[in-house]
Every structure is written in structure tokens, then in C-alpha cells.
Amino acid sequence: MNTTQTGNIKIRVTNLTFSYKGRRILDGINENFEEFAVTAIIGPSGVGKSTFLMTLNRLWENIPEAQMSGKVEIRFNGGLRDIYERSFSSSRLRKLVGTVFQKPNPLPMSIFRNVAFPLKLSGEKDKGLIAQKVEGALRKAYLWDEVKDRLAQSALALSGGQQQRLCIARSLILEPEVLLLDEPTSSLDEKAAEVIEDLILHLKERITILAVSHYLDQVKRIADRVVQVDLWQVRK
């Protein structure tokens, strides 16, 4: 049983079960996640680590033959909200819960437009505000000094580590309260991974972070708490 005090809980998962094509992947999960902390999610391949993250941002909802039951609550504006309530739209959720995937996925456009894309998608038209927020997000992602003189160049020309930080900046531009990281350094070299780790430790001062990782040394360096997915079945 997770003993996190109620006032510090950012995410509460209750009796969460997830199935795909009739195969149960997650079974009766009960877990709390603390605010402003890095929780590392570990376990063998195929036990549902990435699937679990998808239940926190509802990305699974467009997958045919996927089913979920249970409750996921996230604390917004001082109170825990069920993110699967009909009144809680997926678009609002994804402004509050950012996601960065295992492989960097920059869009085939300029560095600036990559980072600005979520703002444009949300309807923001103030060019001055967009430029300000793009710079702020790139600074938060430790990337501004490296790209400030080439914002009009293609994001596809960046190195792998830079592309991953670009994707983090793109997630940060909407100022999310939760950041989900799915193996964020697995495709990077050691030096680039170190920069991402340092960034994660810096971001947790204002964002709650859940990070899937299979690097135990990395987990020791960044995690305030470790959750082992394959043991959830035992503790339910």
C-alpha cells in the first residue's frame, strides 16, 4: 500500500484494469503518485509500463479492441478530478499532462514551429506571446542557447539528444502539471542522456514526473520513488 499523504497526492489510480484484444495487461492497479517528484516505473518488457502511461493521458482511447476500467484522478486546482468524466475533455487533459515518447518525434518543420505547434493548435494567434513562450519552453528544456540563432532551420537537422529536448520543450509550452516520459533516453548516447537526466531533476521543482526506464543506474540518479509494475499484481 502506498502511504503517500493525501495532501501530497497528484495522481491517484484506483482498481485500474486494462485489456487489449481480450488479453489483460494491467489488473486491479491501486497506486498514488506524489506531487513534484520523479517516480520511475520499472519492470520487465511486456508488463504494461507504457500502457500504464497511456491510461494517464487517455491516448489509448483510439486503439481498437482496447478496454479500461477503474478510476484515474489527478489533482487540478486543488482537487482530485476523475480524468475520464464526460465533462473532462481529452484536449484539456493533454494541456495539463504532457507526454514525451521513447523515440524523438520532431515534426518536419522548423525548430520554432515545432515548439509553437501546440499553441497554434489551441488557437493562440498572438505572435509576440507565441515567441515569448517558445523561448521560455526552449530555455526550460536546456536548448535555447544551442538553437536561438537557427530557429527557422529544420528540426530534423538537430542531433538525437537535441531532438528529444525539443520534444520536451514542445510538451512544456502549454505549462503542464504532469509530464509522462516513456524511456526518454533509450535512443540517446551517454552524454545526451546525462543532459536529459539533469533536465528531469530540474523540472521536478514545478512538475510531477512519471518516467518509464529500464536503466537501473539512471533510476538511482533521478527517481524519488520507484514503482515496479510486475509487483502490482502481488499488491492489489
pLDDT digits (tens, 9 = 90+) for 159-205: 999 999 999 999 999 999 999 999 999 989 999 999 999 999 999 99
Q: Which helix H or strand E contains 211, and what residues bound it? A: strand 208-212
CATH for 6-235 (3.60.9.10, 3.20.20.140, 3.30.870.10, 3.40.50.300): 3.40.50.300
Q: Where exactly are the structural domains of the chain?
A: 6-235
More confident residue, 127 or 4: 127
Average pLDDT score over the chain: 92
**156: pLDDT strictly greater than 90:** yes
**67 three-state secondary structure:** strand
Q: What is the mean predicted confidence (pLDDT) over 125-136? A: 97
Q: How far apart are CA 155 and CA 49, in angstroms?
A: 29
Q: What is the mean predicted confidence (pLDDT) over 70-78? A: 95
Model confidence at 235, pLDDT cuts 50, 70, 90, reads very low
Residue-level pLDDT at 236: 40
Residue-level pLDDT at 78: 86
pLDDT digits (tens, 9 = 90+) for 97-120: 999 998 999 999 999 999 999 999
Taking residue 65's Cβ as centre, other Cβ atoms within 10 Å add up to 9
pLDDT digits (tens, 9 = 90+) for 56-67: 999 999 899 999
Q: What is the mean predicted confidence (pLDDT) over 4-29? A: 88
Residue-level pLDDT at 18: 96
Q: Which helix H or strand E contains 14, and what residues bound it? A: strand 9-20
Q: What is the pTM of this model?
A: 0.92
CA distances, 186 to each of 14, 103, 181, 189 (Å): 30, 8, 11, 8
